[in-house]
Amino acid sequence: MDIIQKFGLIREIDLSKPETYEKRFFLTLDIDWAPDFVIRDVDLFLRELEVPATWFVTHGSSAVDALRGCENYELGIHPNFSPLFKGGSQLGDAKQILDAMRTLVPEAVSIRCHNLVQSSLLLDLFKELGLKFDCNVFLPFAPISALRPWLHADTFIRVPYCWEDDTYLAGFCRSPAEVLRSKGMKVIDFHPIHLWLNTDVLSRYESVKHQMNDEQFLRLHRYENDQNGVRNIVRRMIESAKSERE
């Protein structure tokens, strides 16, 4: 079996074909309004590692548009419904927010919401708008061997994930080594800004996030040599997964 085939895109999951998700490694990214220089850098990082990745898009930009040029990528959407809980949103109601995201990424079939906002009403909207995969279910301590996608309604599929960079940095997620040791479907989530910074502790990220669009400033706070940083962790996870044999 070709090594690269152990990695997959969310859109490739077919419940009738267990080989599309069992023992597969799915890299997903929540863009979270990262600036273009960060997106371009992470794009290059993943291209060099030659692995597929599903990017959940928050906004439009030239760097986001460039991601469409890679056949190893899938673009999903990452809508922000959180303002609706704070007295409304300038972007309108939930359907209007989703319509705007669908216009931004018309090819999207997968979704993960910012802050993992979810409800039965939203799930109905996702399906009505033609989305096929929901990735909002985070199960950081469930046995990975038990994780698998499931049918929610007709052809709408929910895909759980088991690891996230910022949750790991906050101490509420299993170690990367444990993820690698476990058998089963592994969907991991990370953020371009943490990959770019090679974030090792959340306090360091918090101290610079107010100037996230200032490339010169951020470069002064990049932790390139820290083996415990997210970039190095993800690289080790990918390289270890690629070195495994069936």
- DSSP letter (8 states) at residue 215: H
pTM assigned to the model: 0.94
Kindly calculate the radius of gyration of the chain based on its CA atoms and give it in whole angstroms.
17
**Cα atoms in the 13 Å half-sphere on the side-chain side of 73:** 21
For residue 101, pLDDT beyond 90: yes
When pLDDT is averaged across residues 209-224 and rounded to a whole number, the result is 90
Number of domains comprising the chain: 1
Q: Which H or E element spans position 222?
A: none
How many other C-beta atoms can be found within 10 angstroms of the C-beta atom of residue 187?
Answer: 27
Coil, helix or strand for 16?
coil
Question: Is 91 or 130 the better-scoring residue by pLDDT?
Answer: 130
Res. 88 pLDDT band, cuts 50 70 90? low
Coil, helix or strand for 245?
coil
Domain span at residue 19? 3-243
User: Which stretches within 58-214 are classed as H helix?
Assistant: 62-67, 94-104, 120-128, 165-169, 176-181, 192-197, 202-206
Res. 2 pLDDT band, cuts 50 70 90? very low
Ranges 125-139, 183-197, 223-237: which has the least confidence: 223-237
What is the C-alpha to C-alpha distance for residues 29 and 75, in angstroms, rounded to an integer?
Answer: 10
For residue 120, pLDDT beyond 80: yes
Average pLDDT, the chain: 92
User: What's the pLDDT at 36?
Assistant: 98
- DSSP letter (8 states) at residue 226: -
The CA-to-CA distance between both ends of the chain, in Å, stands at 7
By percentage, how much of the chain surpasses pLDDT 70? 95
For residue 238, pLDDT beyond 70: yes
Q: CATH number for the domain including 220?
A: 3.20.20.370
For residue 96, pLDDT beyond 60: yes
Res. 166 pLDDT band, cuts 50 70 90? very high
**Cα atoms in the 13 Å half-sphere on the side-chain side of 84:** 17
Count each helix (H run) and each strand (E run) in the chain, helices first: 10, 10
What is the C-alpha to C-alpha distance for residues 91 and 84, in angstroms, rounded to an integer?
Answer: 9
Closest to 153 measured CA to CA, from 127, 125, 131? 127
Res. 68 pLDDT band, cuts 50 70 90? very high
For residue 246, pLDDT beyond 50: no
Res. 31 pLDDT band, cuts 50 70 90? very high
